[in-house]
Amino acid sequence: MSNNWILGSGIILLFLLALVSIAAGAVPIAPIDIISGLTDPNSRSYFIVHEVRLPRTLVAIAAGSGLAVAGAILQTILRNHLASPDVIGITQGASFAAVSVIFLFPAATASILPAAAFGGALLSLAILILISRRLTLAPATLALVGVAVGSVFQAGVQYYIVTYPTNVNMALLWMSGSLWGRGWEQLRPLAPLLLLMLTIAIGNAKKLNILEVGDAISISLGLLVRRERLWLLLLSVCLAGASVSAVGAIGFIGLLAPHIARTLVGTQNQWRLPMAAVIGAILIVLGDIVGRILFIPREVPAGIVTSVIGAPYFIYLLQRARRIGRH
């Protein structure tokens, strides 16, 4: 099957899951009511479809795409198939900033959290680059420093939880990653920003292909390796930061989606990046659907569902890497 067909099939599956996401929940919506709910303001299902579930589903698609492409870029420039925004500290930096606002400024409006999370992701990048510059910008160094930076931010979050136990519920909801309450307010700034950055990322697919083969070959082909790696790292962090700012710290999407995409369409990033975007969107939408229908009327955060899926897959990847290393 050609890559065109595989990518097209993924888009169709995503569209079908989006319809299921709009229909599923504590109040199920019939397919015919979805159509009227999207087009007729006088329909009885208009509010729940147009104002609640449609924007929530679109936020899931946007955030899943951003996290997946961020992970694919990181895995390429670090030449580490286990790299992802939540592995090298970007997600933790965003979470720390958001949780800081929750605990230190409890009167702040919810609209402040996305800006804080995005700023936290950029802060994590700044620390990562500052420390790595003193050592080397080699991929292995960036990855190890990222793990250390993420651990520090995670410790900061745990300190807040222990010190301010009365405000812990909202912080835990953010850290677990949830689409509860997400709507047009989150989608409007997120969608155009992610669309622009995804377009830029796919436009840099050939540079990513060159960087993946190694620094020596990249330099011989005329690529300014240090500059391109920094630029692509910034692009990845912005994608992850924007996504986390909308849905919280949903883990494993940036790890799983690029691997599945590589299996389906190969290593060429012209295909891998858009395929990863589709798969990332599918995973979050599916996680949100499962979380909503598992214990109706209660919701399980989508991040918990994706972690249940992602953790065993991560262990499988570690075991496979170990087997390959032995040979």
Q: Residue 129 corresponds to which amino acid?
A: I
Q: State yes or no: pLDDT of 279 exceeds 90.
A: yes
DSSP 1: -
Q: Residue 226 corresponds to which amino acid?
A: R
Q: Which of 113, 73, 319, 30 is nearest to 198 (CA)?
A: 73
- Does residue 65 contact residue 240 with C-beta atoms inside 8 Å? no
Placement of tokens 């009511």 in the chain: 33
79: region left, alpha or beta (phi > 0 left; psi from -120 to 50 alpha): left
295 three-state secondary structure: strand
320's tokens: 């496979």
213 three-state secondary structure: coil
Percent of the chain with pLDDT over 90: 34
- The pLDDT assigned to 110 comes to 66
Cis peptide leading into 297, omega within 30 of 0?
Answer: yes
Angle in degrees, CA 145, 273, 73, rounded to 5: 15
Arithmetic mean of pLDDT, 276-288: 95
Q: State the pLDDT confidence band at 138, using cuts at 50, 70 and 90.
A: low
Q: Is the whole model's pTM more than 0.75, yes or no?
A: yes
- The pLDDT assigned to 198 comes to 94
Query: How far is it, in rounded angstroms, from Cα 117 to Cα 250?
Result: 13
Count other Cβ atoms within 10 Å, centred on residue 131: 16
- The pLDDT assigned to 254 comes to 92
pLDDT tens, residue by residue, 68-114? 999 999 999 888 887 888 888 898 899 899 889 888 887 777 678 88
- Between the alpha carbon of residue 221 and those of residues 79, 196, 291, the distances in Å are 18, 28, 48
Q: Which of 186, 205, 282 is nearest to 243 (CA)?
A: 186
Q: What average pLDDT does the chain have? A: 86
Q: State the pLDDT confidence band at 324, using cuts at 50, 70 and 90.
A: low
65 half-sphere exposure, CB direction, 13 A CA radius: 25
CA dihedral 99, 104, 108, 111 (to 10 degrees): -20
Helices 253-265 + 302-326 axis angle, to 10: 60
| Burial zone of 84 (CB within 10 Å; 0-12 exposed, 13-18 middle, 19+ buried) | buried
CA dihedral 230, 236, 242, 245 (to 10 degrees): -100
Domains of the chain by start residue, with CATH? 3-326 (1.10.3470.10)
pLDDT tens, residue by residue, 174-208? 788 888 888 888 898 889 989 999 999 999 999 99
Q: Which of 24, 77, 111, 62 is nearest to 293 (CA)?
A: 24
Query: How far is it, in rounded angstroms, from Cα 276 to Cα 246?
Result: 19
Q: State the pLDDT confidence band at 38, using cuts at 50, 70 and 90.
A: confident
Angle in degrees, CA 133, 138, 141, rounded to 5: 75
- The pLDDT assigned to 147 comes to 84
Q: Which of 229, 137, 239 is nearest to 197 (CA)?
A: 239
Q: State yes or no: pLDDT of 209 exceeds 80.
A: yes
Arithmetic mean of pLDDT, 112-130: 87
User: In whole angstroms, how large is the CA radius of gyration of the chain?
Assistant: 20
Q: Which of 214, 75, 204, 230 is nearest to 137 (CA)?
A: 230
